[in-house]
Chain A
Amino acid sequence: DAGVTQSPTHLIKTRGQQVTLRCSPKSGHDTVSWYQQALGQGPQFIFQYYEEEERQRGNFPDRFSGHQFPNYSSELNVNALLLGDSALYLCASSLTGTGMCTFGSGTRLTVV
């Protein structure tokens, strides 16, 4: 049983560009959450998708947007990249109502 899979594993982008990260949730999970983890810090909640809609959002600007597809997979889009967006982006899936999240290995984004 595959867990949460994320792609790509690493990415280098230039300031001002746009990026799309992808996530496939664990089998049986219907909710996908995205987190940003800066070096040496704990993950910070970006937003969560359930039934193809954004259900919750953390304190992140509108440059961060997402999407969930009918098969529960999800994308995270970041526009107008800043150097400060360099981080590990983690996708976590869960079954709604259970609270317990399974994390993927993340996408390491470097903005230069």
Chain B
Amino acid sequence: GESVGLHLPTLSVQEGDNSIINCAYSNSASDYFIWYKQESGKGPQFIIDIRSNMDKRQGQRVTVLLNKTVKHLSLQIAATQPGDSAVYFCAEGGSSNTGKLIFGQGTTLQVKP
């Protein structure tokens, strides 16, 4: 069946360091992936997305890497700030762009001042 998983439930980093959050997916036919950030009491907030015809995509302080060979993607956050503390989810958008997302269980990022 389809599943999306994250490698670590909690990641603790020092303010100013770079953070790397990993995610594995199982559906090799998926062609769209999104990273969301969820703060306590709020809904998931879009961070960055990537399509399967790309290996890397950069945003403001964030980079997503996609390795289709091993079905793995990662989110890199540069110069992590206290405001980055949240739960991060990768979501798989399947192969049909229908808006149905399959989420992993999330990684909690804790930023130490």
Contact = CB atoms under 8 A, between A and B. Distances in A.
B102 interface: yes
Contact of B97 (A41, A90, A98): A98
A55 B102 contact: no
Interface stretch (A12-20, A66-74, A79-87, A100-108): A100-108
A56 B105 CA distance: 22
B25 interface: no
B61 interface: no
B46 A102 contact: yes
B102 to A, nearest CB: 7
Q: Looking at chain A, what size class is its interface with the partner chain? A: 20 to 34
Interface string B47-74: 0010000000000000000000000000
Contacts, number: 68
Contacts of B106: 41-42
A24 interface: no
Interface residues of B, number: 24
A92 interface: yes
Given A99-B32, A103-B43, A42 B103 contact: yes
Contacts of B28: none
A98 B51 CA distance: 11
Top 9 nearest A-B pairs (CB, nearest first) are: A42-B103, A103-B43, A94-B99, A99-B97, A105-B43, A99-B93, A103-B44, A99-B32, A43-B103
Given A43-B103, A102-B46, A105-B41, 20 more contacts: A4-B43, A33-B99, A35-B101, A35-B103, A42-B105, A42-B106, A43-B89, A45-B102, A48-B98, A58-B100, A92-B99, A99-B32, A99-B93, A99-B99, A100-B93, A100-B99, A101-B34, A101-B46, A101-B99, A105-B42
18 contacts: A35-B101, A35-B103, A42-B103, A45-B100, A45-B102, A48-B98, A48-B99, A48-B100, A56-B100, A90-B44, A92-B99, A99-B49, A99-B98, A100-B46, A101-B34, A103-B36, A103-B43, A106-B42
